[in-house]
Structure 1
Amino acid sequence: MPLTGSLKTLLLRGLLAGLIAGLLAATVGFFVGEPKINAAIAIEESQSQAADTHEHGAAADQAASGHSHGDEEEPLVSRSGQKAGQFLALGLFGMAIGALLAVVANVARRYSTLSGPRLALALAGGGWLAIVIIPFFKYPANPPAVGDPDTIDQRTWLWVAVVLLGFAAVGVSVYVFKLLRGQLGTVRLIGAVLALVVVAGIGYVLLPGINEVKADFPAALLWQFRAASLAETGTLWLVLGLGFAALTEFAANKARTAEAVAR
């Protein structure tokens, strides 16, 4: 069952599947990720209060000279607003990724012998590997209490670089898999996996490391947050792939039924 339909049809499938995936991922983030973020923020606030208490004597001298040390800026978006806003943000992000998946599927169907649902799942799995998994093992996600604000630009560019590395690794893996056409299926799979690991490993060595986690930050909370982050992104890509595949299969079955009735 090849992937059928115009680009417009594929885009509509991708947008719908992406919206559902984004909202479900936001739900996972709300119930699984937010408690970890709250805990990390509480640690950051307690450390800040301890620092303020330690510097109370200096602050009192500054206040006597007319300078107020206790003024605190209110956040631009409250925590409740951030929690609600992630549903909008991930819904839009899911739609964007779904549209991108549709465009890639439109091109890939010309070169692939996979059925429509399998192609959708394969593309979603490749995107998850390139955008989430490969970057994660080099630069894993950190909670708000971790990270130096002065290095945010550097970390952003390094994340872009590792995502490009992910696409390169997945691309080489697919190329090796096709290159081994005619070999046993397990041989092709082993070759593809080895290509992925080698390319990713070379990139890991060349890219600089970043470790801004404070020594006193709870290791358990750190890895619980990272696991929650993986659960959220995993939900997004899994639902996106399954949703796009299901819509593709539903459309194909509907077309076959209509053709049978017309006969």
Structure 2
Amino acid sequence: MTGRLLVRGMLVGLIAGLLAFGFAKVFGEPQVDNAIAFEESQAHHHSHGDAAAAPEEEELVSRDVQSTFGLLTGVVVYSMSLGGIFALVFAYSLGRIGKVGPRGLSALLALAAFVAVFVVPGLVYPPNPPSVGDPNTIGQRTKLFFLMVLVSLAAAVIAINAGRKFIARSGLWNGAIKGVAAYLVIVSVAAYLFPTINEVPEGFSAVLLWKFRTAALGIQLVLWTSLGLIFGVVAERLLLPVSRLSKA
């Protein structure tokens, strides 16, 4: 059964990735183009009148490829991987989180993953356009972001396990609040201890930065919403005959 859920999770991830790609193409790529235009104007301003200015490096991959086939490939590979992992987590969680059906469990897991994987780490290290920032800090910023993702996921696991114990002692409502509070405490401490990196240059449009980050949020929202809702339907159709047979 787990293998069948895994295959379906990857297929649903493919569908979710195509939807996310469509959103990224329409709402995200224009903001990236605007950010690149800003970078080029700044470079032209600084090099204006400098005869010794170094020639521009030739792009290994053209912008047209990056914004079409490259973007599609990256989003689909990412979403299919997430779909497979999501299916495995779903299979493990089935029957362990109260009396929740496949659709409800899928939606809850997608919401929790969206918050733990993107929202919370994104509040600590919000996404910036690829062309914006100091190239020397990209590696450090990437490592810190993924480290924050790991901390957020670990905090979510701890909070869920603690929340189950709290619910058994204090009831559903109070136990759930205590579990959420435990998660918030852990990620807040981590966010306070992690170093701050401010790589947005002075003069960069605040409106453009806001639009880019909103588009990044929208891409993840489309991805996780599609994954949670579609996989819930698929999993229910797969598991419903099994549950009927077990009752017969």
**TM > 0.5:** yes
Q: Which position in structure 1 is the counterpart of 2:188?
A: 201
The RMSD of aligned alpha carbons is 1.9
Cα deviations across residues 147-193 of structure 1 (Å, max 9, x unaligned)? 21112221121112101111122122212320122434321232122
The letter of the residue matching 2:131 is A
Contact (CA 8 Å) 1:33, 1:225: kept in 2 or not?
yes
Q: Which position in structure 2 is the counterpart of 1:66?
A: none
Contact (CA 8 Å) 1:129, 1:170: kept in 2 or not?
no
Q: Which position in structure 1 is the counterpart of 2:45?
A: 50
Taking the aligned partners of 2:56 and 2:225, their CA distance within structure 1 comes to: 42
Q: Which position in structure 2 is the counterpart of 1:250?
A: 237
Is there any run of 5+ residues in structure 2 with no aligned partner, and where? none
Q: Which position in structure 2 is the counterpart of 1:106?
A: 91
Q: Which position in structure 1 is the counterpart of 2:113?
A: 127
Partner-residue secondary structure (3-state), 2:128: coil
Of structures 1 and 2, the larger Rg is shown by 1
Pick from 28, 31, 39 the counterpart of residue 36 of structure 1.
Answer: 31
Taking the aligned partners of 1:90 and 1:161, their CA distance within structure 2 comes to: 21
The letter of the residue matching 2:142 is T
| 1:90 is aligned to 2:75 | yes
Q: Which position in structure 2 is the counterpart of 1:15?
A: 10
Moved over 6 A (4+): none
Pick from 193, 198, 223 the counterpart of residue 211 of structure 1.
Answer: 198
Shift of 1:251: 2.4
Shift of 1:106: 2.1
| 1:239 is aligned to 2:226 | yes
Q: Which position in structure 2 is the counterpart of 1:80?
A: 64
Shift of 1:237: 0.9
Moved more, 136-145 or 147-156: 147-156
Contact (CA 8 Å) 1:18, 1:94: kept in 2 or not?
yes
Contact (CA 8 Å) 1:36, 1:224: kept in 2 or not?
yes
Shift of 1:115: 2.1
TM-score relative to the length of structure 2: 0.91
TM-score relative to the length of structure 1: 0.86
